[in-house]
Amino acid sequence: MHPSPAEAPREPSSTAAGIPEEARGTPQLAAEADSGAAPGPTPAFDFWRAIYERRSIRRFKPDPVPRELVTQVLHAGIWAPSSCNYQMWDFVVVDDPAVNARLAALSSQMGNAPVNVIVSYGRDFSEDAWANIQSASAAVENMSLAAHVLGLGTFWITQTGDREKVREVVGLPEDRLVVAVLAVGYPANPPRSGPKRRPLAHVAHWNHYAGKPIPGSPDPEDWDADLLAVYQRARVLNGLRHNKPRVWEVAAIETALDALVPGGREQAADPERAPRWLDVLPCTGIVTERLAKLRPGYRFDVVERTSEVAEFVAQRVRPRATTYGWPGASAQLASPPEAAYDVVSCVYRLENLRAAERAALVADMARWLKPGGTLFLAFVNANSYHDVAEWARASRGGLGGVEYVLAPDPSIGPFRSLRARDVQGFARAAKLSAAGSLGLHAAPPAEEIDFRARNSSQRARGLARFGAGVLRVAESIPGVRSARGRFQFRAYTR
């Protein structure tokens, strides 16, 4: 809440010098007032270039940054707007390697740059938290742009670990909230282009919002197909850092591939004449890229919901994949050709779909296969520890809603594990015959336990390790992996 007009600070009024009166302060304070002039040389720099060229820099040269330059950056920070002009920010600049090492121990993100600016804001004294965080953020953005103009790189950090510990390390009193840390340094290799932006036409609305709400529910039944497309396009275009499958997930796919699609390990002599592989709804394309590297004897195509995501994936494989659309052809994307593929793969994507769409997709995949071709399906088994692990995560109050459950980070949308007999039913209805199957991970591997329980108490971690140990013993019983394995793989032929 803003204070009443009587107690509210006066709106700054412009002066002949262009410096607001408030910034000059009372006559007694005038000597300390900030003139608004930057404390160093200000290189001419096109405003729009600064806006469009600034990038988050996460690798820096070890060279120290002169304090005068950092001061100039901070100065841009204090000229940001702040709620009621309270300016309750304080910046603690850490350029002492010993202090930076203590910060890096709290979060590795703060171990990247020679300078970390801890941006704090008055917790209670000033406006409500909502306005305080926005004011601090405005300062961070001003500083990021100023640093870019001065030839420096920055990287905005909210993953600071325990913010209260950060506050203590730099001696900020309790009334200050650490809002963010801005890493500053000379860029090691500045990226030529940034992560793509959602097109303006998708995010800008005149007078009334024209979109639909995106459900927070992880249940595919709550998601219209077009919303899933919007969500996944946004996730993919906004950058991929959260979406990486974990090592044990990738390893399971590799094992299954060796068992079920063993051919095509040699580079194709002529990619134009190579056998063809269609990867279905790859979304991030990380798995497609892996499949293409493991099976270079095939030429890869992709089928996705939107041309943007399809294009994004297509560029991850060599030669560049041809892109198709599902469900149905669109103005931008044709349907994949029928009976054209030696292999069609769909890796953990049926789980994204509504029940009715799953059967339809399997039927379509069967049509895209050549006679004698192989459908390689991977799915997460509802009859495994998976649902229990998800339940434990949800009840712990961790990240809720839409998540990439295979590697718990918000990512590809809704997800529901599947029963093997349902998958078998889809295949039968599509007139496919079973050609092989494999179940893996009836017990979570130790690295998964450590990963999933990383933020839990020691007791909970111990319990999880014990439970996994028991499952691991059970796993050696014949048939347990194939029935109870979390990761299920199937090969079908047409």
Note the Cα 187 to chain centre separation in Å: 22
Alpha-carbon distance of 366 to 361, in angstroms, equals: 9
Task: Provide the minimum distance between the beta carbon of 154 and ligand FMN in the complex, in angstroms, as a whole number.
Answer: 9
Residue 375 · residue 493 · CB < 8 Å: yes
Please identify, using beta-carbon distances, which residue of 147 and 333 lies nearer to ligand FMN. 147
Please identify, using beta-carbon distances, which residue of 157 and 313 lies nearer to ligand FMN. 157
Check residue 109 for interaction with ligand FMN (CB under 6 A): yes
Task: Provide the minimum distance between the beta carbon of 326 and ligand FMN in the complex, in angstroms, as a whole number.
Answer: 28
Using the contact rule CB under 6 A, the part of the chain among 152-160, 222-230, 268-276, 294-302 near ligand FMN is 152-160
Using the contact rule CB under 6 A, the part of the chain among 54-62, 77-85, 294-302, 369-377 near ligand FMN is 54-62
Using the contact rule CB under 6 A, the part of the chain among 52-60, 169-177, 291-299, 468-476 near ligand FMN is 52-60
Question: Residues 194, 199, 263, 319: which binds ligand FMN (CB under 6 A)?
Answer: 194
Please identify, using beta-carbon distances, which residue of 119 and 359 lies nearer to ligand FMN. 119
Using the contact rule CB under 6 A, the part of the chain among 62-70, 153-161, 198-206, 225-233 near ligand FMN is 153-161
Task: Provide the minimum distance between the beta carbon of 231 and ligand FMN in the complex, in angstroms, as a whole number.
Answer: 17
Please identify, using beta-carbon distances, which residue of 87 and 144 lies nearer to ligand FMN. 144
Question: Residues 157, 375, 423, 440: which binds ligand FMN (CB under 6 A)?
Answer: 157
Question: Residues 45, 79, 86, 156: which binds ligand FMN (CB under 6 A)?
Answer: 156
Task: Provide the minimum distance between the beta carbon of 159 and ligand FMN in the complex, in angstroms, as a whole number.
Answer: 4
Question: Residues 159, 315, 332, 433: which binds ligand FMN (CB under 6 A)?
Answer: 159
Task: Provide the minimum distance between the beta carbon of 76 and ligand FMN in the complex, in angstroms, as a whole number.
Answer: 16
Residue 409 · residue 402 · CB < 8 Å: no
Check residue 108 for interaction with ligand FMN (CB under 6 A): no
Residue 83 · residue 136 · CB < 8 Å: no
Using the contact rule CB under 6 A, the part of the chain among 154-162, 182-190, 303-311, 412-420 near ligand FMN is 154-162
Check residue 235 for interaction with ligand FMN (CB under 6 A): no
Question: Residues 9, 62, 195, 263: which binds ligand FMN (CB under 6 A)?
Answer: 195
Check residue 190 for interaction with ligand FMN (CB under 6 A): no
Check residue 239 for interaction with ligand FMN (CB under 6 A): yes
Using the contact rule CB under 6 A, the part of the chain among 156-164, 255-263, 289-297, 439-447 near ligand FMN is 156-164
Check residue 55 for interaction with ligand FMN (CB under 6 A): yes
> Is the alpha carbon torsion for 352, 398, 309, 274 positive or negative?
negative
Give me the residues that bind ligand FMN (CB under 6 A), please.
55-56, 58, 109, 156-159, 194-195, 239
